[in-house]
Chains A and B, each alone.
Chain A
Amino acid sequence: DAKTTQPPSMDCAEGRAANLPCNHSTISGNEYVYWYRQIHSQGPQYIIHGLKNNETNEMASLIITEDRKSSTLILPHATLRDTAVYYCIVRVGGATNKLIFGTGTLLAVQP
């Protein structure tokens, strides 16, 4: 599975959009980009995933660059409850259930 690079921490003002970047320059054509988050020491929570097209669900949007070497997770209106560690993971879809977690980005939403 390709390696990902994320900034260790970011701040965001409450009510503003939070844009979390992820670099995955060695991603293969059949690897998906997944985002999970972990609030304090709770179990990680699935947010969204995508292959090449941009994706949106009730939690967030995922923007993947055309060359697929980077992506951005967007939380459109961040709240204090969105303060968490966000993990960007790439994995071959359909081949394995295993997720390899890095150290993620600690997003601190400020009031």
Chain B
Amino acid sequence: EAQVTQNPRYLITVTGKKLTVTCSQNMNHEYMSWYRQDPGLGLRQIYYSMNVEVTDKGDVPEGYKVSRKEKRNFPLILESPSPNQTSLYFCASSRLAGGGNTGELFFGEGSRLTVL
């Protein structure tokens, strides 16, 4: 089954304790992206990757890091989490847009993070 898998789905942590949210897709997609969703603000893009070893900032990258060492994985790293990073996080993947492909995004089920 084609899917995007995120872990953990729920996490409560404390300020400053490094954490990683993993994301894996089994569709051989080139493009992967992280979004956060907050009440009243909708979904905002954090980082994205067009392919292995190619990453770039989205609209709200501060406080986050990513890596793309393998095509299927795109972990989101919070080096020193703060309470304002309490949010619902979504990973998404797609084929690259272009060449007749319009790049529909497939989303994971979300990771709800609380930073105390």
Interface, chain A (partner B; CB < 8 A): 32, 34, 36, 41-46, 49, 93-99, 101-104
Give CA–CA (A61, B35) in the complex, Å: 27
A24 nearest CB across to chain B (Å)? 16
Contact present for B90 and A97 (CB under 8 Å): no
In the complex, which residue of chain B has the Cβ closest to the Cβ of A49? B102
Main SS at interface, chain B = strand
Inter-chain pairs besides A94-B102, A97-B48, A102-B42, 12 sampled, C-beta below 8 Å? A41-B88, A42-B110, A44-B90, A49-B102, A93-B97, A94-B99, A96-B97, A97-B33, A98-B48, A98-B58, A99-B105, A101-B42
Give CA–CA (A41, B36) in the complex, Å: 12
Please provide the 7 A-B residue pairs with the shortest distance between their CB atoms, ordered closest to farther. Answer: A43-B107, A101-B43, A97-B103, A97-B31, A46-B104, A93-B102, A94-B98
Give CA–CA (A96, B104) in the complex, Å: 11
Give CA–CA (A2, B101) in the complex, Å: 20
Give CA–CA (A47, B18) in the complex, Å: 36
Give CA–CA (A71, B32) in the complex, Å: 28
Q: How large is the interface on B (under 10, 10 to 19, 20 to 34, 35 or more residues)?
A: 20 to 34
Chain B 84-116 interface mask (CB, 8 Å, partner A; 1/0): 000010101010111111111111111010000
Known A98-B48, A101-B42; contact A46-B98, beta-carbon cutoff 8 A = no
Interface, chain B (partner A; CB < 8 A): 4, 31, 33, 35, 37, 40, 42-43, 45, 48, 50, 58, 88, 90, 92, 94, 96-110, 112
Contact present for A94 and B97 (CB under 8 Å): yes
Chain A hits for B42, CB < 8 A: 101-104
